[in-house]
Amino acid sequence: MQAKTAVLLGATGLIGNHLLHLLLEDDYFSGVRILVRKPFPFTHDKLEIGITDFNNPDKFKQAIGKGDTIFCCIGTTMKKVKGDKELYRSIDFDIPVHAAQWGIDNGFSQYLVVSSVGANAKSSNFYLHIKGSMEAALHALPYTSLHIFRPSLLLGSRDEKRKGEKLFQAIAPAMAFLLRGSLRKYRSIKAPEVAGAMLNAAKSGKEGLCIHEYTAIKALAG
């Protein structure tokens, strides 16, 4: 099998951290390059750590380097950006889209990104509008394979504390039976399952645009 290289953005996040370890443990990718803002306290024979400035186009593009597949799990919250919508957009829209654009320039053929259930560029909800706009921008790029993952509430432990999320995480699984039919996509899902689904989607060889919501993510996670 020809050696393949994966690039991962968002390796310190809830999904990204799980995905990083899966990528390092799996033989499908011979090399894994992560892009981070500051030193990353972890080493592995397959791991390359690229410290970059995501606001500097030249450095960002250079840090992406050459490879086959880009995984983008990057995202923020209004709390982290202190309500600054422009800063929020620069993280949740600009970084994924720029990474995808420069990935094409650098020869990548596959792009996988975490979006959100309900993403819609025409939505009046700021969060869903940003995610939908990001998806629309990616659709226009000539990737052989584009996988968009739309999870609802993520289950898992975060380093940061999010008001109300711990409560929702506790009750969401018990309420899942109420979400049936077209509402099934709003069921909560474990972050490791999303990570596993992303890796398996990348290994599937499926071409074209693939949008994965709850049922598809669960099936891919195995």
Give me the residue spans of the domains in the chain.
5-221
Does residue 210 have a pLDDT over 90? yes
pTM confidence score: 0.91
Residue 177's contacts (CB-CB under 8 Å, 6 or more residues apart) are none
| Mean per-residue pLDDT, 210-217 | 97
Q: What is the CA radius of gyration of the chain?
A: 17
pLDDT of residue 158: 56
pLDDT of residue 183: 83
DSSP character at residue 155:
E
Q: For residue range 8-67, what is the model confidence (pLDDT) as tens digits?
A: 999 999 999 999 999 999 999 999 999 999 999 889 999 999 999 999 999 999 999 999
The three-state secondary structure class of 48 is strand
The three-state secondary structure class of 211 is strand
Q: For residue range 136-150, what is the model confidence (pLDDT) as tens digits?
A: 999 999 999 999 999
| CATH H superfamily, domain 5-221 | NAD(P)-binding Rossmann-like Domain (3.40.50.720)
pLDDT of residue 191: 96
Q: For residue range 155-197, what is the model confidence (pLDDT) as tens digits?
A: 976 555 555 555 555 555 656 666 677 788 989 999 999 999 9
pLDDT of residue 49: 97
- Which residue bears the tokens 């799996």? 26
The identity of residue 3, as a single letter, is: A
pLDDT of residue 174: 53
pLDDT of residue 34: 98
Q: What are phi and psi of 119, to 5 degrees?
A: -55, 130
Q: For residue range 82-111, what is the model confidence (pLDDT) as tens digits?
A: 999 999 999 999 999 999 999 999 999 999
